[in-house]
Structure 1
Amino acid sequence: MDQSLLRPPNFKPRPWPWPWGHKSIVLDVEENQKQQVNSWLDADLSDDEADSDYVPSSPRSGNSNYSDVLETASSDSDASGSDINDSELAQIQADALTGWRASPTGSLGALDAQAALEQRIEILVKAEEDAAASYDPNQVVSLITQFYELMVTMGHWPEGSIRYPPHTDPPVNEELATELGYPPAVISVMHKLPYPNPSINTWHDDEHAIFDETRLADYTQESYLREGRLPPPYMYIDDCPPIDAWLLPLVIPKRYGWHCMLDTKIGVIRAYSVDSVSEWTTEWVRHGRVEFGSEKWEHASRTEYRRATIIPAARYFEELIYAYYSLARLPLVRGNANDPLDSNVKDEDKEQQEILLSLYTKYGWPHNWQRAEFLAEWGTKTKEISEKWREIRSSIPNEDSELFE
């Protein structure tokens, strides 16, 4: 594994849904710009450059453009007395937050917010262009391979769980893939990808899952080739067209799983939960406002992958590798309970997390790693934990047992 990927200086653990889902790439760009500005402000200035009268403005969190608009609207209201009532102020604030006019009269706030939105769309387009220019499918395949190998090294997958290319038994059915509408660039990636052994990638095998409620796509199997053109939940929507042909789903979700699609046209990952694509991102709003329940909303729900947040594909898998290598996310536990800082997990899951972390330390992760000894003790500990909580559940009244499910 490329050691430079394991602790990159600009990566840091983030709250759920990271590392599977990411915020808008526009926010990342803005954060980087702020860091560059702060770096410049923090630099040592000569006497001629220094400004002794400079007073820094108070820090703000969130969307500074929209915050400015809201504060302006509020201060204007205070200054002008009663000529803007609470209802009108609410409309102005709604204009500022959405960039769409909430009343026939409109507002300066709406115009300012619209200008901010247009600026963010420009940032998004530039980010897409940069991602496309740097996209190297071989690099992405290499990172996916390294991530799978990390899952084996850390004990999440058994040894021998990865099938490497060239795939011959079975091969990728190129004729069927072409018939289904996959373009050559996508089929080329299918041939290059590693795939997990089917024995650890079944519908009912949560033990080896990485994405919660989700299977890894295996394009040497006909079923995945077909599902990849219309993955759940789109296959269950009446008259839903296949997804864009240049998108390659790297996973196939269950009812509450995840999407992770490689956009081979611009070299990004579109990753999002089956039941939630955020409507408050630049990626969504750039396509225009959509009223819930309208005909446009129905169309948008069938093509929501076009509105999902994006991240350069290489960066996505670099962060996934970092998350596990650094133990910011834990293998060997349930996919929705693998954040050791999550205070909302069940007590049984928390106990597993604590023991798992202690065992990784005890057996020398990562530099003096004793995998076999680690797995032997982990197997013993998990049996003890399961038995302990089985006894706890059996000792409580039936009406309270759901608290432990």
Structure 2
Amino acid sequence: MSSAPSVPGQPGQEDVMGEEYRVAKIPYNEDTIVGLVSDIYRIYVQLGYMNNRADATEELVWPPPEGHSINEALCEELDLSPKVISLMRRLPYPVSIGIAAYLPFKPLSTAFAYIDDRQIRDGRDPGRWIYDQPRTNFLLPHEIALASADDEGIHIILDTEENTIRAPDWEELELEDEDGNFIFRSLPSHHAPTFLAEYVNKLRSLEIIPGGQEGRGRFYDVHYGKVYPMIRKVLQEQYGWPYDFRETEWKAAARDTLQRLERLYPFY
């Protein structure tokens, strides 16, 4: 059976099959990134993961209207781009490096707190800063590490030019090609707003439940056995998450409730 004749002025089937659709990417929008990171921290506060200590110690600092007062001279010394500096000023942060370590930003990933001068330098080399002198030129000027990997977690590296996030693990970040170039930038990237929004949705749906005891963060999920569905059931049916959420009541009861559920349904 012969193929249908081509219409003049229109590409033939073979030409169409060989084409690739080019996606015109929406440019980076700082407001979008700030909004999504803020949404993550708001959920953490709502669920008592942060700012719910018995001694009322604040664990999270929100940016004032004019932005955080960060060390811009150090940022310029490190050749950070204006977009990166501006974003640093507008993000919420754990109040200290210690709090960031005890209350991860994501499972096994620790947020950088750029209100601390040391972290501005540390963040240029998210894979080494904990155990070695950071390389200040490891990231490009327009890249910013939102979080670094713990043992088996991921680094979260935002590219403000591409509007992408790369999420290599600790090993992938250090891999080099035969010419000695780091190859993590050749790894698949994620559309930055989508990457963050997907995590927000997992938190809102309680696919991941942030919790823990007195400054020691934990993220409950299906790997936590029977205790995970029970925590989810309590939050939804007893405390009305998310639409009729009794936030104050949950925060008052969260510590004792989680301890009791962990005793009843041990996951170790």
Q: Within 5 Å, give how 1:322-401 maps onto structure 2.
A: 322-332=201-211, 338-340=220-222, 345=223, 349-361=224-236, 362-387=238-263
Please provide the CA RMSD for this pair: 3.5
Give the conservation status (yes or no) of the 8 Å contact 1:227–1:252: no
**In the alignment, residue 323 of structure 1 is paired with which amino acid?**
K
Distance 1:150 1:367 in 2: 13
Give the conservation status (yes or no) of the 8 Å contact 2:126–2:147: no
Structure 1 stretches lacking a partner, 5+ long: 1-115, 278-291, 391-403
**In the alignment, residue 296 of structure 1 is paired with which amino acid?**
D
- Out of 180, 187, 203, the position equivalent to 1:299 is 180
Shift of 1:243: 1.7
SS state at 2:158 partner: strand
Distance 2:241 2:190 in 1: 29
Distance 1:304 1:368 in 2: 47
Distance 2:233 2:242 in 1: 13
Q: Within 5 Å, give how 1:220-239 maps onto structure 2.
A: 220-233=115-128
User: In percent, how many aligned pairs have the same letter?
Assistant: 22
Q: Within 5 Å, give how 1:312-323 maps onto structure 2.
A: 312-323=191-202
**In the alignment, residue 231 of structure 2 is paired with which amino acid?**
L
Distance 1:327 1:225 in 2: 32
SS state at 2:118 partner: helix
Give the conservation status (yes or no) of the 8 Å contact 1:233–1:274: no
**In the alignment, residue 249 of structure 1 is paired with which amino acid?**
A
Q: Could you say if the C-alpha distance between residues 201 and 243 of structure 1 is closer, same or farther in structure 2, counting changes exceeding 3 Å?
A: same
Partner of 1:138: 31
Q: Could you say if the C-alpha distance between residues 199 and 240 of structure 1 is closer, same or farther in structure 2, counting changes exceeding 3 Å?
A: closer
- Out of 296, 301, 309, the position equivalent to 2:188 is 309
1:264 aligns with 2:143: no
Distance 1:382 1:321 in 2: 22
Which is richer in strand? 2
Distance 1:309 1:166 in 2: 35
Partner of 2:9: none
1:166 aligns with 2:64: yes
Give the conservation status (yes or no) of the 8 Å contact 1:166–1:191: no
Distance 1:189 1:233 in 2: 23
Partner of 1:251: 147
Deviation string for 1:307-347 (max 9, x for gaps)? 2321222212221111110112222159886333xxxx3xx
- Kindly name which structure, 1 or 2, has the bigger radius of gyration based on alpha carbons: 1
- Count of residue pairs brought into register by the alignment: 241
TM-score, normalised on structure 1?
Answer: 0.52
Give the conservation status (yes or no) of the 8 Å contact 2:240–2:246: yes
